[in-house]
Structure 1
Amino acid sequence: MQYEHHGESSHRDSVTGRSFVQPDREECYDQMMKDYFIEHPRFPTHDFRRWFRMRRELFESILNADVNHDHCFVRKINIIDRRSLSPHQKLTSAFRMLANGCSADSTDEYCRLAESTTIENLKSFCQAIQAIYRATYLCKPNREDLKRLLRKADKRGFPSMIGSLDCMHWEWKNCHTGWAGQFKGRHNKPTIVLKVMASYDTWIWHAFFGVPGLNNDINVLWSSPMFDDVVNRWAPKFRYKVNGNRYELGYYLTDGIYPS
């Protein structure tokens, strides 16, 4: 069974007029499991991390959370007694789009999702992630969180270090021509900057997104609300010494572009 789609797609990042062949979903699912998710998969651990940008254990944890949260990720049986797409197929499609910046119809050959299904699946995935994890991530550390972070940092030789701070650039493929100049960074492509504060266990408790890619890391830092608590004297106080100097505020690990 197959159908063809002709004409212009409403999704500009996808290939116009590309035909989608309805394949055997069970065969695709079995191949995907053998490639990555069985006990001894075809592709080793480092290949999984390269394709998905995460460990397999983290992928499985997110998959189980999504299935428990949103019924659309549960595998169903339709009226003709045919099983629908598996959660592994849906999440693999979403992660490959997010990790590699690829278009919606570029995942159909492996994941077997049509273009429109892929886009709706990605929207549902992002909404589920926000609902599941927003209570944990992107919230300021409380006293217990700070104690845990400080204990770990102290063991590693960084007393009163709260976390690591850095920026990354997300390419904006469909940036408006009139805006391209202010969004073009060092790679001469329009990008949007994401600034993140993360702990040793990759707990992201601060994120600032949306600054044009023309800005460097220092300009992004000055634009963000990162130090509002320090300016307003709400930041927690610490007392410690480094090289004989006394300090009362925690600090962050950064690269060489940031000021002391």
Structure 2
Amino acid sequence: MGRSFFRELSDDDSDEDEIIIKLLTSSTSQRKHLWYIDRNHLAAHRRLYDDYFAKEPVYPPKLFRRRFQMRRSLFLRILSKVEVHEPYFIRKRNVAKKLGLSPLQKMTATLRMLTYGEAADFMDEYVRIAESTAITSIKKFVAAVVAIFSEEYLRSPNNEDIARLLAHGQNRGFPDMLESIDCMHWKWKNCPTAWKVMYCGHIREPSIILEAVASYDLWI
């Protein structure tokens, strides 16, 4: 297949299914060794909507909060702002005139990967989203969240914030405490071979420690 054709597809922001359709409608030599999976995005969206976002969802708010690590109202608030900022999350029709993935599907896949560290390919079974599309979604979501919320939530605390946090800690019996710290091990897939021994120990694979500091109201 010509390099120019691959370059054109790599620059395309369509989801994987749409790109495959483009390949299928191309010449015989270009679609050699290629298969198409009909993921039925519409049915997957309906199932996701009925499970968590319907007026009377299958799973109650308590399970939504546990599985998404946030309330449904917060999920929808973030999604509405991300849609306005990043057109990638707006639902569109593909080249075959079929509706593509919904914003709910893209954000659900993104949050499941961020929250549980699940592989992008694992999202396909429930959300019906291709691996490459899931990876693109998480990249665009993170960039959008930083652009939208950084001024309010990703800034350093000022004197007023520090006084408020210290007062709250004092009232809860933790004087001079600003925030709480937590850490987790993150598998380092591309760790240099020469460094692997230094970064193993918690698990057999190399990992690095990610630290997060958060206030009582989850200001990270």
* Range of TM-score over shorter length: 0.7 to 0.9
Moved over 4 A (4+): 1-4, 17-20, 78-81
- Unaligned 5+ residue runs, structure 2? 1-16, 22-32
- Residues 102 and 173 of structure 1: CA distance in aligned 2, closer, same or farther (over 3 Å): farther
* Candidates 151, 154, 157, aligned match of 2:170: 154
- Unaligned 5+ residue runs, structure 1? 5-16, 205-260
Calculate the aligned-residue CA RMSD, in Å: 2.8
Structure with bigger gyration radius: 1
* Candidates 202, 208, 227, aligned match of 2:218: 202
Shift of 1:35: 1.0
* Candidates 47, 58, 74, aligned match of 1:31: 47
Identity in percent: 43
TM (normalized to structure 2)?
0.74
The structure with the largest helix share of the pair is 2
Length, aligned pairs only: 192
Contact 1:105 1:114 in 2 (8 A): yes
> Cα deviations across residues 71-118 of structure 1 (Å, max 9, x unaligned)?
111122446543221110001111122222222222112222222222
Shift of 1:64: 1.5
In the alignment, the residues of structure 1 paired with residue 62 and residue 182 of structure 2 have an alpha-carbon distance, to the nearest angstrom, of 24
- Residues 198 and 51 of structure 1: CA distance in aligned 2, closer, same or farther (over 3 Å): same
Q: How does 1:72-221 map to 2 (within 5 A)?
A: 72-78=88-94, 81-204=97-220
- Residues 54 and 93 of structure 1: CA distance in aligned 2, closer, same or farther (over 3 Å): same
TM (normalized to structure 1)?
0.64
Q: State the SS of the aligned residue for 2:91.
A: coil
Q: Relative CO higher for 1 or 2, CA cutoff 8 Å, sep ≥ 6?
A: 2
| Equivalence for 1:69 | 85
- Residues 109 and 34 of structure 1: CA distance in aligned 2, closer, same or farther (over 3 Å): same
| Equivalence for 1:248 | none
Q: How does 1:19-58 map to 2 (within 5 A)?
A: 21-58=37-74
